Structure 1
Amino acid sequence: MRALAAFCGAAAAVVYAWGGLLLAGAVVEAEDGGTNSSPLLPCRDVTGREEELQRVVDYSVGFVPLRFDCELTGGGSYDSGAVPGAVSANAAGLALSGVVLAVSARYGAERAVRTRNRAGTPSPHGDGGTDGDRNGP
């Protein structure tokens, strides 16, 4: 279980890093400037917001969850979709699974030690006595 917990943690980190790269790419694209840079390039990929497209003045980024928001004149914003919502959801799900597996592995190990001690089998740490000192055989 510990190995699976470590795998889930590593997979969560990889998914989150991939989303971070997507976010960094959108920021680089937004900061590019030059000809054809208004409205911001990452903000153009959203369909159904053509009327808001001309009101885009800036952007903001979020890290939990990963997102690239297009800021509008007069307030308000919308998610550009530069980082798919599934990226943050998958990273969170994998991280949560890793934590649950790590806690389960720890609980299982403690339960095995308690069961072994009840059965009278000496623990692998050499604690054969019950007086608290390590009077190993």
Structure 2
Amino acid sequence: MGLLLLLVSLAGFAYAVVLAVKGLVRTLGSVRRSGTVQLLRALAVVAASGAVVAYAYGLGQVGLDAMDADSGGADSAPPWPCRGVGMEKAREVDDYRVGFVPLRFMCHRRSGTVYTTSTVSAWVNPAAAVFGTAAAGLAVGARALAERSARRTAGDAVAAEKV
């Protein structure tokens, strides 16, 4: 599972670079043409690239810990990522899980309880949420503005026919 998470993380970074370049090119083009709708759409793409980068970074961290946990061999139990809370608590760990929303690495204890490690940097989940929300808000705003200007244009055309 760890290797798969790392591969998805790398793909996420590549996709984020494509989104960022696309968004920045569109942003520069819309600033020159002074199109508000195009500018909002371009900024939405840039914000989406920020969300993808943050999530891919956290996914890479979780993937590395999953690879450590799956390594096997001598001194592999309890899993290394679960040892950060102390060996007394870690000795009870019988499995691990990966949470994707929010991103986290969880250690499952024999008693049925689960605790989360500090694998994922503290800024990753909030950054992904803020950038994702900003991207969605900008996209919705661009769509609303485009529909509003389309209605205005249609209203102007009807008014021109009446004259």
Q: TM-score, structure 1 length as denominator? A: 0.77
What is the aligned counterpart of 1:58 among 79, 88, 95? 95
Measure the CA separation in 2 of the matches of 1:68 and 1:15: 16
Shift of 1:107: 1.3
Runs of 4+ in 1 over 6 A off after TM superposition: none
Q: Which residue of 2 aligns with 1:79?
A: 116
User: What is the Cα deviation at residue 117 of structure 1?
Assistant: 4.1
**Which residue is 2:71 aligned to?**
32
- TM alignment of 1:6-25, pairs within 5 A: 6-25=45-64
Deviations 1:108-129 (A, max 9, x none): 12222333444x3x59xxxx76
1:71-122 CA distance string (max 9 Å, x none): 111210100111134312211221111010011111112222333444x3x5
Q: Distance in 1 between matches of 2:129 and 2:41?
A: 18
Q: CA RMSD in A?
A: 2.2
Gaps of 5+ in 2: 1-39
Map 1:81-96 → 2, pairs under 5 A: 81-96=118-133
Equivalent residue for 1:135? Answer: none
2: CA distance between counterparts of 1:59 and 1:45? 14
More helix by share: 2
For 1:129 and 1:73, how far apart are their aligned partners in 2? 77
Q: 5+ unaligned residues in a row in structure 1: which ranges? A: 131-137
Q: Give 1:109's match in structure 2, choosing from 117, 126, 146.
A: 146
Paired with 1:15 and 1:45, the residues of 2 have a C-alpha distance of: 23
Tell me the secondary structure at the aligned position of residue 137 of structure 2: helix
